[in-house]
Amino acid sequence: MRVLSIGECMAELAPAPNPGDYRLGFAGDTFNTAWYLARLGVAVEYLTAVGDDAISDRMLAAMQAGGVGTAHVARLPGSTVGLYLITLADGERSFSYWRGQSAARRLADDPARLTAAMAEADTIYLSGITLAILAPDARATLIAALDAARRHGATIAFDPNLRPRLWPDAASMTQAIMEMAARTDIALPSHEDEATWFGDADPAATAARYAEAGARLVVVKDGANPVLWRSPDADGTVPVAPVQDVVDTTAAGDSFNAGFLAGLAQGAPLPDAIARGCHLSAQVVQGRGALVETVPV
């Protein structure tokens, strides 16, 4: 299986042990999933746009060091990447973002580039954040390319990753998410967020809403609670072994998606593929940051 992951990778400044020092890293939801897919041995390309400055060079190098293909990363002259900074107060992490001008917002400006990248992929992965950072016309361009790729046989996997602050208002977010659900093969929502913004009473309600919108397979994550799945002719749950010492839940959902998609790619039955997602994300919540280098795969 060849995966194309589409979205925004950002520069990350995280507190270093020496007070006042920060460590530079690179992360972003769809990139995190690509990075874990590569670690699991899946061939994965990342489609985004970066600038032509030094930090963009370092981001590309980090992608390549992680085994993620960069053939579909556009370089936009005079532009740069988005940045976020993590602040720690009493063990709680808070995030400040500078991403309004990031090159990734223009990742869908060239329809021919999208078509060429998608033609090489069996599975195309994106998130609600990918949709949120695009202007409405660029989002329409991306969706048209996804529809064409799907007609040619590609599987579309979508994590709604609801981030209301990236949208003008909640109604435009929920509308865009459900429009995407209608052209999704594999939906990977997290129940807690979905309950907040769609009022789902339980994970089964989340699964039903995505299935009715058109998703063939829905896998609903719910923190330490069981993962619920629903396909056209069956449904079920897979238990999660709760982690007692959670260190940092950043990228729990992103790494789950990677473990699950890698399991499917390697031909695992559905419950086994879900269990692989659970296994990987359980390791990730016990490490610090989005990309946990020490995760055994």
Residues annotated as catalytic are 254
Nearer to ligand ADP, 237 or 266 (CB): 237
- Is residue 297 within 8 Å of residue 42, measured between CB atoms? no
State the binding string over 219-248 for ligand ADP (x if CB under 6 A, else -): --xxxx--x------------x-xx--x--
Considering the rule CB under 6 A, would residue 252 count as an interface residue with ligand ADP? yes
Site string for ligand ADP, 167-196 (x = CB under 6 A): -----------------------x------
For the chain, the helix, strand and coil percentages under 3-state DSSP, each to the nearest 5: 40, 25, 35
**How, if at all, do strands 217-220 and 227-231 pair?**
antiparallel
| 281: contact with ligand ADP by CB under 6 A | yes
Dihedral sign computed on CA atoms, order 239, 245, 249, 254: negative
Q: Are 210 and 181 in contact (CB under 8 A)?
A: yes
12: nearest Cα among 66, 86, 68: 86
Residue 29 sits in the site that holds ligand ADP (CB under 6 A): no
H-assigned helices in 152-269: 170-181, 191-198, 203-213, 252-265
Q: Is 256 in the site for ligand ADP (CB under 6 A)?
A: yes
Q: Which is nearer to ligand ADP, 142 or 220 (CB)?
A: 220
Using CB positions, name the residue nearest to ligand ADP.
Answer: 253
Closer residue to ligand ADP (CB): 133 or 282: 282
Which residues between 204 and 223 bind ligand ADP (CB under 6 A)? 221-223
CB of 191 to ligand ADP, least distance (A): 7
Rule CB under 6 A: is residue 140 a binding residue for ligand ADP? no
CB 64 within 8 A of CB 50: no
Rounded to a whole number of angstroms, the minimum distance from the CB of residue 260 to ligand ADP is 9
Strand order in the sheet with 227-231: 73-75, 43-50, 2-6, 123-127, 155-159, 186-187, 217-220, 227-231, 234-238
Neighbouring CB atoms inside 10 A of 284's CB total 28
Chosen residue from 10, 133, 282, 290 binding ligand ADP by CB under 6 A: 282
Q: How many residues of this chain bind ligand ADP (CB under 6 A)? A: 18
Closest CA to 203 of 233, 156, 237: 237
Q: Which residues bind ligand ADP (CB under 6 A)?
A: 190, 221-224, 227, 240, 242-243, 246, 249, 252-253, 256, 278, 281-282, 285
